[in-house]
Amino acid sequence: MAEDQAMEKISSEDEDDQNQKRKKEDCLSDPEFFSCVLQPSPADSDPEYIGIRRLLLHRKAQSGVVLRKDWRCNGKGYVGYRNYINRPRNWESMHVPSHSSTPGQSGRWISSSAPLSLSFEVDSWTSSRELRSGNQAVSHRLSFSTNASDSDRPHIKRAEPAYSFVGMHCIFDQCKAMVTVVKFGHMSSDILAYGASDGTLTVCNVSEPPSVIKQLIGHSKDVTDFDFTSSNQYIASSSMDKTVRIWEISKGLCIRVMYGVTSQLCIRFHPVNNNFLSVGNANKEITVFNFSTGRVICKTVFDNEVTAMDHDHTGQLIFCGDAQGSVYSVSMDSRTGSLSRAHTHRSGNKHKSPVSTMQYRTFSLLARGPVLLAFTRDGNLSFFSVALEVQGYLTIRCSLQLSSRLHSIRASFCPLLSLEKGEYIVVGSEDANVYFYDLTRPRHPCVNKLQGHGYPVIGVAWNHGENFLASSDFGGTVIVWKRAKSS
């Protein structure tokens, strides 16, 4: 009898050893782990720091996916999910009464007292203040500093109802590669498209029930940018495979290919005359194509690679950013498509960084006129007022320095607030969160954040009705967040 027990003990220990070895081998053979660690790093970065940071981000991504799946299975509200992942480490040992809506009465979920409590929804940093009050170390560790990290804790005195969210409206996770860019259709609240690093372009409908309309396959490398025509009938996409492709959405077919000699990095249709298509490339050029024939109309050379661009509402100006952080105003003839450089705003930072976002808006409460947002890879958010009568002369109004990015992460203006004079920006982050900043609050700019992604958030976009916010991540997931109705 004793011999049998000894043999059983030895066999159980052998099984444990084998299980540990198997887990270790699975970790070492994980292709996502190697793709994360072996990414090329910037030339001026510390390789040891980059490697450690990528490893930690990968581990956090794995746990984030599990938490998101757990939340989706339970079918609870976004507030409950956020409180769950923000719980202190000694959660189980704390004597917190379980609420009636808690699954299994385990005390892991806290739900709002009403179907939608705006002050509770928006105050994402203090929604668990009752739980955190017993853990002063956690509160101290999350103290906010503008120049430190995106995940630092701001001091929120009151709620911003315009930027509270009911939760996730829908999730598109059929893509297995990084989603590099996401956009809603022109003047549309329902059509959503996103491009990925595997060359695919997916068009979706976010209205009930959410569905994938077409998957456009043709690019052989990363989709760097795309744009809808004003009728949302066609999409033009640019790619690292040196081509620009025109797609007819209803048929899911590529109807034209324009070949280049270098990577095509950004693309925009003329807002008034959709027959003009402007493309920025790695050959330091902006090329204007004729949409109907595919022929080149005009080329203009810049100082560096053109990495981001946007039109003004009249179509007479193009604003573009390059690989060294400079921003250009370019005049465009709406009849002939010819270009001419007007003004240049050069980056004052010592370490130059590519511009990942260039976005124009016709009006701002802060500037009382048209404005421009520029976001660089090193985390610098710049807000310019635009003088249209002086060929788009730019005057910087305010800026915000966030932590630098390893990926080319994008930012976007937030919808206007009728009673507020702040300037709100939404931006992705490598800690898998979506952040909302007020550029007019340099000391405590972060006003809200959304948690739910399991990988670094790359792209963000609002729909025309401004009731949906779409965010995409490194793991191929696109989340559409439903904004709360505000009075």
Is residue 71 one of the residues assigned to a domain?
Answer: no
Tokens, residue 122 = 């928006």
pLDDT in tens, 423-434: 889 999 999 999
- Give all strands of the β-sheet with 317-322 in edge-to-edge order: 306-311, 317-322, 327-332, 339-345
Tokens, residue 131 = 């739980």
Tally of structural domains, the chain: 1
Side chain identity at residue 278, one-letter code: S
Strand positions, DSSP E, 51-144: none
Say what the pLDDT of residue 363 is: 84
CA-nearest of 346, 355, 361, 278 to 321 is 355
CATH number for 321? 2.130.10.10
- β partners of residue 437: 425, 446
Q: Give me the domain span that covers residue 464.
A: 165-483
Give the 3-state secondary structure of residue 239.
strand
Is residue 148 one of the residues assigned to a domain?
Answer: no
Is residue 285 one of the residues assigned to a domain?
Answer: yes
- β partners of residue 345: 327
Is residue 280 one of the residues assigned to a domain?
Answer: yes
Q: How far apart are CA 383 and CA 277, in angstroms?
A: 26
Is residue 38 one of the residues assigned to a domain?
Answer: no
pLDDT in tens, 231-242: 999 999 999 999
Is residue 230 one of the residues assigned to a domain?
Answer: yes
Q: How far apart are CA 228 and CA 78, in angstroms?
A: 31
Say what the pLDDT of residue 92 is: 52
Say what the pLDDT of residue 243 is: 95
Say what the pLDDT of residue 9 is: 58
Say what the pLDDT of residue 277 is: 95
Is residue 175 one of the residues assigned to a domain?
Answer: yes
Residue 132 phi, psi dihedral angles, 5° rounding? -80, -15
Global confidence as pTM: 0.69
Q: How far apart are CA 455 and CA 58, in angstroms?
A: 8
pLDDT in tens, the chain (487 residues): 555 656 665 666 666 677 666 655 555 555 555 555 555 556 556 666 666 666 666 666 666 666 555 555 444 455 555 565 566 655 555 544 433 333 332 222 323 333 333 322 333 333 333 333 333 333 332 223 333 345 444 444 444 555 778 888 999 988 889 999 999 998 888 999 999 999 999 999 998 889 999 999 999 999 999 999 999 999 999 999 999 999 999 999 999 999 999 999 999 999 998 999 999 999 999 999 999 899 999 999 999 999 999 999 999 999 999 999 999 999 999 889 899 998 999 887 777 899 999 999 998 877 788 999 999 998 899 999 999 888 889 999 888 888 888 888 999 998 876 456 678 899 999 999 999 988 888 788 888 889 989 899 999 999 988 889 999 999 999 999 998 876 5
Is residue 86 one of the residues assigned to a domain?
Answer: no
Say what the pLDDT of residue 347 is: 81
Query: For 432, how many CA atoms within 13 A lie in the half-sphere containing its CB?
Result: 22
CB-count burial class (<10 Å; 0-12, 13-18, 19+) for 14: exposed
